[in-house]
Amino acid sequence: MNEAKLMATEQWPYEVNYGKENEISADVLVLGGGVAGCHAAISAAKTGAKVAIVDKGPVIRSGSGGAGVDHWHCALKNPCCTITMDDMLDFFKAHPGNFTSEYGNGITFTILCQESYEALLDMEGMGIKFRDEEDEFVGADFRDDKTKIMFAYDYESKITIRVRQGAVIKPALHKELKRLGVAIYDRIMVTSLLTKGGIQGERVIGATGLNTRTGEFYIFKAKASILAMAQPKGIWVFSTELIGSNMSHDDPNCVGDGHAMAWHAGAAFTNMEGSMPSSGTFRYPAYGTGNSGNTWYACTIVDANGKEVPWVDKDGRVLKSVSERYRPAKGQKFHIHNPPPGTPPEYAGPLLIPDLPERIKKGEFVQPFYADLPSMPEHERRAIFGLMVGNEGKTRIPIYEVYTQAGFDPDKDLLQSNVLPPDRCGTGSPWNSIGPPQWRETMFVSGGGVVFDWDLRTTLEGLYAAGNQLACGGNHAGAACTGRYAGRKASEYALEVEEQVIERTQVDREKDRIYAPVKRKNGIGWKEFQAGICRIMQDYCGEYKDAETLQMGMKWLNSIRESEGEKVIAKNPHDLVRTLECYTRLTVGKMIINASLARKASHRSLDFKRLDYPETNPPEWEKFLTIRTDKGECKVGELPYNYWLLPPYAPTYKENYEKHCGL
């Protein structure tokens, strides 16, 4: 290790000890300390288990929720909500084939609806003031005066809650972890899972890690482990120039390590063939330009001449007042704001006129467009630029504080939207920039992930999962709920089983793998390697796919692994972490190509287009395809779309939840 140590000293502020071993033992090991991981660790610790949580960043702020949350989904059990679990299940059933949204899996959907409000109350117990306790919004349409809860999007059904102190939610979780005595391991990149006897497909009995500052090695022994490292990112597009807010919408530490390590351990995955268009890194900071979606819902939009763009309901009826944008249309029990294409009309919320692109082409509206905050009712204006932009992830400092300090005044100023070709202009959701067709990314929060059961257990014994690492993932509230649930289940299991002896050869193999780049003297840097991997994914696994091209992509990924992959050098622990992330992305790329080859049909919600199988959503392909690796071979399987209600499970959501929830 000495030579490597020498190389590591170049301008590196921390003492480097590559290979030095640290051994930790826990009942429940939580891998990833984002939203899901923190809730999992807290709930496991509350059952009396000895818990350790490991994160690549600092748990106090890490993860996509680390910079904030402005709205809390599906808080059905809040005292003002008019929607029942059965109403939500009707909505869920109206969505068959919607594989990728947070409404894509019956198990996580049920857990979200059952526990969302409780999870928010947990946060209140940890000091997060989500209500309008300061009476800032008295008289607002969206405020309930008795409970002081403030709602978003649909003011009648009152399902979604605005979170007044969302920007500091992670520090509150961190404090609670400490209070409960959870052992926190910051800045440790988990690199692999350890299995019984070191055998793929066997019970998971721990994990290995690398300190991102010192390069030291960690061996975590655990009776049960929980995957909470979110979903892969940066698989198709890589830029060495654009950093900061733009580098990735999600936390840039989330690259798919959890997927790669579970894959190598033999866990099954689904939906890995799904992806969506991407702006690459060439976008404006999220919510930093004028728009009308999500955080900015339902801001009035005007064109360059000040002409207002009308809002319409599901039937195309023009809405006359701002207030109607926040209410279900006639005949609807509730609405989904900014409904994605395919949302059944019974649930589709209002949109800006859908034929806006044609009207721009005809000259009826002139770009650029602007978010017209000054024309919004005062409470709505302050809710958007204040309550929401002030607490949404990644907007508090770069948008809210920087714009305000620069003199932006929502009472007087309009904020310009992106200028885009007419057919790219938003018809409801933000004016997202989209790059060329070969630029893709995994689905936002709800992409492919591990297969799981009603215990949130993966297909491997001893391995549970939560948050966006689950297939169909979810959102902040979903991560909190599945985290709590997985924490309980993992703890229940851990308290019944014995700790296993770690297979030393598995540890040694992993040490050889991860330290190889620091032992090389000459070679290429991780950036070249990463750029090459992304180029392969763009060229051979872009928007339109066919078998031959995908197979060529697989060949090139294998080739780059054997050639450039053996030449990458790392001069310090930072380089080493980035290099290991390249190997992760390469593995994830192969998983995506394997899954893409397996689905021999096009699929709408997976945004999956096979040129050689152009028929979209043929009934025989309305199923989850699963993939797993077995001694280097990809095994393809399938699961019916409603596997969660089929034997061995009970036929209803309620029975399954009550039997498994562990409460």
Ligand X SMILES: Cc1cc2nc3c(=O)[nH]c(=O)nc-3n(C[C@H](O)[C@H](O)[C@H](O)COP(=O)(O)OP(=O)(O)OC[C@H]3O[C@@H](n4cnc5c(N)ncnc54)[C@H](O)[C@@H]3O)c2cc1C
Binding residues (CB under 6 A) for ligand X: these are: 32-37, 54-57, 62-65, 69-71, 73, 189-190, 228-230, 249-251, 253-254, 257-258, 286, 392-394, 445, 467-469, 474-477, 479
Separation CA 399–CA 418 (nearest Å): 15
What is the number of other CB atoms lying within 10 angstroms of the CB of residue 407? 8
CB 539 within 8 A of CB 570: no
Pairing state between β 21-31 and 217-227 = parallel
Asked whether the beta carbons of 638 and 623 are under 8 A apart, the reply is: yes
Least separation in angstroms between residue 55's CB and ligand X is: 4
Closest separation in Å from C-beta 263 to ligand X: 13
Residue number with the smallest Cβ distance to ligand X: 34
CA pair distance 620, 2, nearest whole angstrom: 59
**Cis peptide bond prior to 298, omega within 30° of 0:** yes
Shortest Cβ 370–ligand X spacing (Å): 23
| Shortest Å, Cβ 358 to ligand X | 32
Q: Whole-number minimum distance, CB 183 to ligand X, in Å?
A: 14
Give the Cα separation of 219 and 242 in Å (integer).
35
Tokens encoding 331? 């005949």
Nearest by Cα to 557 from 472, 634, 635? 634
| Six token digits for residue 423 | 């057919």
CB of 218: closest distance to ligand X in angstroms? 10
DSSP string for 404-452: HHTT--TTT--EEPPP--GGGS-SSS-------TT-EEPPTTT-SEE--
Pick from 433, 64, 517: which is nearest to 242 by CA? 433
Structure tokens at 594: 């394997």
* Cα diameter, the chain: 73
Q: How far is the CB of 117 from ligand X (least distance, A)?
A: 14
Select 52 or 224, whichever has its Cβ closest to ligand X.
Answer: 52
Nearer to ligand X (CB atom), residue 52 or residue 230: 230
Give least dist CB 111 to ligand X, A: 14
Closer residue to ligand X in complex, CB, 435/467: 467
Q: Which is nearer to ligand X, 143 or 476 (CB)?
A: 476
Q: Which two tokens stand for residue 292?
A: 């009308």
What minimum distance in Å lies between the beta carbon of 577 and ligand X?
A: 9
* Integer Cα distance of 230 and 547 in angstroms: 29
The one-character DSSP state at 70 is S
Nearer to ligand X, 215 or 357 (CB): 215
Give the nearest distance from C-beta 444 to ligand X in angstroms.
Answer: 8
Asked whether 537 and 440 are in contact (CB, 8 A), the reply is yes
In the complex, what is the shortest distance from the CB of residue 395 to ligand X, in angstroms, rounded to a whole number? 7
Q: Is the peptide bond before 224 cis (omega within 30 degrees of 0)?
A: no
d(CA 574, CA 591) in angstroms, rounded, equals: 26
Q: How far apart are the first and last CA of the chain?
A: 50
What is the chain's length?
Answer: 663
DSSP-derived letter for residue 392 is S
Q: Is 63 helix (H, G, I), strand (E, B) or coil?
A: coil
Give the C-alpha separation, 189 to 584, whole Å: 12
Nearer to ligand X, 37 or 532 (CB): 37
**Burial call 51-67: b when 16+ CB within 10 Å, e when fewer:** bbbbbbbebbbbbbbbb
For ligand X, the closer of residues 202 and 250 by Cβ is 250
Q: Token pair of 568, please?
A: 């990458």
Complex with ligand X: residue 425 or 472, whichever CB lies closer: 472
Residue 209 phi/psi, 5° resolution?
A: -150, 165
Distance of CA 354 to the CA centre of its chain: 28
Nearer to ligand X, 202 or 392 (CB): 392
* Minimum separation from the CB atom of position 184 to ligand X (A): 12
Is-contact 391 167, C-beta < 8 A? yes
Shortest Å, Cβ 618 to ligand X: 31
Query: Residue 470 Cβ, how far from ligand X at the closest point, in Å?
Result: 8
The minimum distance between CB 88 and ligand X, in angstroms, equals 16
Closest separation in Å from C-beta 477 to ligand X? 5
Comparison of 202 and 257: residue with beta carbon closer to ligand X: 257
C-beta separation of 8 from 518 below 8 A: yes
Our CB check for ligand X shows the closer of 250 and 313 to be 250
- In this complex, which beta carbon is closest to ligand X, that of residue 34 or of residue 553? 34
Which of 34/206 has CB closer to ligand X? 34
* Cα 531 from Cα 11, distance rounded (Å): 25
Tokens 């204040």 sit on residue:
386
CB closer to ligand X, 394 vs 628: 394
In whole angstroms, give the CA distance from residue 403 to residue 419. Answer: 20
Contact at 8 Å (CB) between 585 and 65? no
Which residue, 486 or 550, is less far from ligand X as judged by CB?
Answer: 486
The separation between CA 353 and the C-alpha centre of its own chain, rounded to angstroms, equals 29
> Please, which residue, 32 or 430, has the CB nearer to ligand X?
32
